[in-house]
């Protein structure tokens, strides 16, 4: 099992910046620019303070495989990515981004500020109460950390990459039982999200029921029980995910977050009931929109094109735009890059 993942930070039609995560810790940055059917160029910065030599080699091999897959997807003829393995000197960042780098460089004085970049109207502390805790499944990551004949062990991380729950499950006779041990006191939304993520990790054709206990501060305060009939009922009630005459469509796309010009959508498959099969993130700050779809399963080219078309229909409700450039991802690996022009679908 790989310990390395790439977390997209910025994507455009001609480039991308990704955070490199090793065992859910930030260890560096991959920056690439590319021209389709031509070449890829960029840099990989690995943080020496948090990676030993063996870990560095594992991270490098994973990033190398990712760049190779991107090279194939773009059909580029050449590639040059410079790799550095050292401590950060300093980071040039606006005030809004300073907090994100606080754990990477040692002191606040390490930042070079350009005050023209500062936007005092969008500071986090000015957000109305309650908006900062509007969690969705996209805010959490479920990681399988152990597996043997006796059961499975997962770790659950929140959107700040904090370790918030440890989970132990057993599978026997098509029944899944276990306990979620919370490090924080969860609310109802977080309980539902944790249960949904666990259910989604199992093949629906191989499991008939789930019994998941929720524990905090050494006490079990809730037990979530789901049977195969419950899951079927969710499918029958899934019209809440579909509108109007769209009930015959195999997929639906729902807006779940608007973060100052970056929209997040959950993608649902009618056959899977209330569980999302992917998450789309789109930057609508320009007339040519850019974004990516992170699929739980890669699916077929036809399915991905249909989902992209449905996403464009939802984007039509938010903004007039000229084109949409999408990166199709699965397990942090690029499947394909596609460019949709609005004239083709409007």
SS (H, E, C) 79-142: EEEEEEEECCCCEECCHHHHHHHCCCCCCHHHEECCHHHCCHHHCHHHCCCCHHHCCCHHHCEE
For residue 254, list its beta bridge partners. 266
Pairing outcome for strands 251-259 and 219-227: unpaired
- Give the pLDDT confidence score for residue 167 in this predicted structure: 93
Instruction: Please report the pLDDT score of residue 335 as a whole number.
Output: 80
pLDDT tens digits, residue range 282-330? 988 888 888 889 888 777 888 888 898 899 988 988 888 888 888 888 7
Q: What pLDDT sits at residue 91?
A: 57
Return the pLDDT at 134: 55
> Residue ranges of the chain with pLDDT lower than 50?
96-97, 99-132, 232-247, 344-346
Provide the pLDDT for residue 30.
92
Domain 4-125: assigned CATH number: 3.40.630
Mean pLDDT of the chain: 76
In which order are the strands placed within the sheet that holds 4-12? 4-12, 15-22, 25-35, 39-47, 78-86
Q: 3-state class of 230 per DSSP?
A: helix
CATH code reported for the domain at 138-236? 3.30.300
């Amino acid at each position: 099992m790989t310990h390395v993942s790439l977390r997209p930070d910025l994507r455009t039609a001609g480039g991308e910046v990704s955070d490199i995560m090793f065992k859910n810790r930030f260890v560096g940055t991959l920056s690439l620019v590319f021209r389709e059917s031509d070449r890829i160029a960029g840099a990989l910065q690995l943080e020496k303070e948090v990676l030993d030599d063996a870990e560095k080699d594992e991270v490098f091999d994973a990033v190398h495989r990712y760049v190779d897959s991107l090279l194939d997807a773009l059909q580029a003829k050449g590639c040059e990515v410079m790799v550095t393995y050292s401590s950060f000197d300093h980071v040039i960042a606006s005030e809004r981004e300073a907090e994100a780098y606080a754990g990477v460089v040692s002191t606040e004085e390490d930042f070079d500020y350009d005050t023209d970049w500062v936007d005092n109207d969008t500071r986090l502390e000015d957000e109305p109460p309650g908006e900062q805790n509007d969690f969705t499944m996209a805010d959490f990551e479920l990681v399988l950390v152990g597996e043997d004949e006796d059961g499975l062990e997962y770790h659950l991380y929140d959107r700040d990459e904090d370790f918030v729950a440890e989970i132990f499950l057993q599978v026997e006779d098509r029944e899944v039982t276990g306990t979620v041990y919370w490090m924080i006191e969860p609310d109802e939304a977080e309980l539902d999200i944790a249960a949904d993520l666990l259910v989604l990790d199992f093949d629906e054709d191989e499991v008939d029921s789930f019994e998941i206990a929720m524990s905090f501060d050494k006490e079990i305060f809730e037990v979530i029980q789901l049977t195969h009939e419950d899951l079927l009922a969710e499918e029958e009630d899934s019209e809440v995910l579909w509108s109007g005459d769209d009930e015959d469509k195999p997929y639906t796309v729902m807006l779940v977050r608007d973060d100052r010009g970056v929209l997040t959508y959950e993608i649902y498959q009618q056959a899977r009931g209330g569980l999302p099969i992917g998450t789309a993130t789109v930057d609508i700050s320009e007339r040519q929109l850019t974004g990516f779809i992170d699929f739980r399963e890669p699916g077929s080219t036809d399915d991905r094109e249909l989902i992209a078309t449905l996403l464009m229909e939802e984007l039509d409700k938010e903004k007039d735009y000229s084109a949409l450039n999408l990166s199709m991802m699965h397990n942090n690996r690029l499947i394909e890059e596609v460019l949709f022009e609005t004239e083709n679908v409007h």
